[in-house]
Amino acid sequence: MKLSVVATLYRSAPYVDEFCRRARQAARQYANDDYEIILVNDGSPDDSLDIALQIAAADPKVTVVDLSRNFGHHKAMMTGLAHARGEEIFLIDSDLEEAPEWLNEFGRQRQASSACDVVYGVQRQRKGGWFERTTGQLFWFTLKTLTGMELPSNITTARLMSRRYVQALLLHQEREVFMAGLWFITGYRQEACEVDKLSRATSTYTFRKKMSLLVNSVTAFSNAPLVSIFYLGLAISLLAGCYIIFLVLRWWIEDTSMAGWTSVMASIWLLGGLLMSSLGVVGIYMAKIYTEAKARPYTIVRHVYRSDAE
C-alpha cells in the first residue's frame, strides 16, 4: 500500500465527515486508489465514533481504531501509526485547522529530495489570540533551553513520513509520550514546509495542560533540573559559608553579638522552600521511573473496525 492517512478523534464530531471527504480527495490525487484512512477514536465523549463508523461502513478505505478510553492526543497518534500499513504515512489532526490538501504539497517537496524521510508543517504565524501565542512561544523557548534540543517552533501535527522513519519512531516505548521530542530524536533527514494553520475553535491545550506537557517533556528529555538543583545547592552552601566567616570576623574584630532574628528566619524560609522544590523535582523523576518500570501499555485498543479479513 502506498499511503496511510492517520488522524485522531476527540470532540471531532463536527469535522469528521468533511475531514474524510477532503482527505479522500487528497489521497486519490497523491496515491490514486492505493491508500487507507485510519481514524483513532481517543475516547471522544461526543458522536465522533458513531460518525466514523458510518463513514467506514460506506468506504472500505476507512479503518477505525477505537481506544478503550481517553489516553491523550500523543499516545493516540502513536497507536494510529502502529496500525498504518502504507509505505508513506501522512499524520494530521482531524479538526480541519490543518488542511488535508497539504498532503500533495508535502509529497512534492519530499519527492524533490530522495534522501528526505519527513516533511513537516511549520506555521508562518502561530494561530490564536495573544494569550495562546504568548504561552506557546514561552513553552517552546523553555523547552529548548532546558533540553538543549533544537526543536522547530510552531510545528504542526501534519507530516508526511516514510515507512522506515515510522518504524524507527515506533521503537520508542515511553509511557509518557511527547511526540515533538520523539520526532526530533528519531533522526533521519527532515524538512520543514511553511503552512498557514486555521483557527476554528478554542485550543484544547489550556495553560494547565501546557504546563503539564512542559514538565513531562523536560523531564523526559533532559536531566537539566537535577543538575540545576546540584549547582543551586552548591551556590547556597558557598554563600552561607562566606556569610558565616563574615559574622565570625565581625564578632572577633568588633566584639558584636551575632544577633539577627529577621535574617535567620528569612534564611530558614528560603532554604526550606528550596529544599521542598528540590525534593519535588527529584520526586517527578522518581515518579517517571516508577511509571516506566510498570511497563503498562500506553493505550488499549477496544476494537479495530477494518473492512478486510485482517
Question: Measured between alpha carbons, how far is 29 from 10 in angstroms, rounded to an integer?
Answer: 27
Residue 310 pLDDT: 44
Residue 147 pLDDT: 64
Question: Measured between alpha carbons, how far is 266 from 127 in angstroms, rounded to an integer?
Answer: 44
Residue 183 pLDDT: 83
- For cell 494569550, name the residue: 131
Are the C-beta atoms of residues 182 and 157 closer than 8 Å to each other?
no
Residue 133 pLDDT: 64
Residue 309 pLDDT: 43
Residue 127 pLDDT: 57
User: Per this entry, what is the length of the chain?
Assistant: 310
Residue 204 pLDDT: 54
Question: Measured between alpha carbons, how far is 295 from 297 in angstroms, rounded to an integer?
Answer: 6
- Using 50 as the pLDDT threshold, list the residues of the chain that sit under it: 309-310
Are the C-beta atoms of residues 281 and 224 closer than 8 Å to each other?
no
| pLDDT tens, position by position, 203-223 | 555 556 666 666 666 666 666
Residue 253 pLDDT: 75
Residue 282 pLDDT: 75
Residue 226 pLDDT: 67
Are the C-beta atoms of residues 292 and 175 closer than 8 Å to each other?
yes
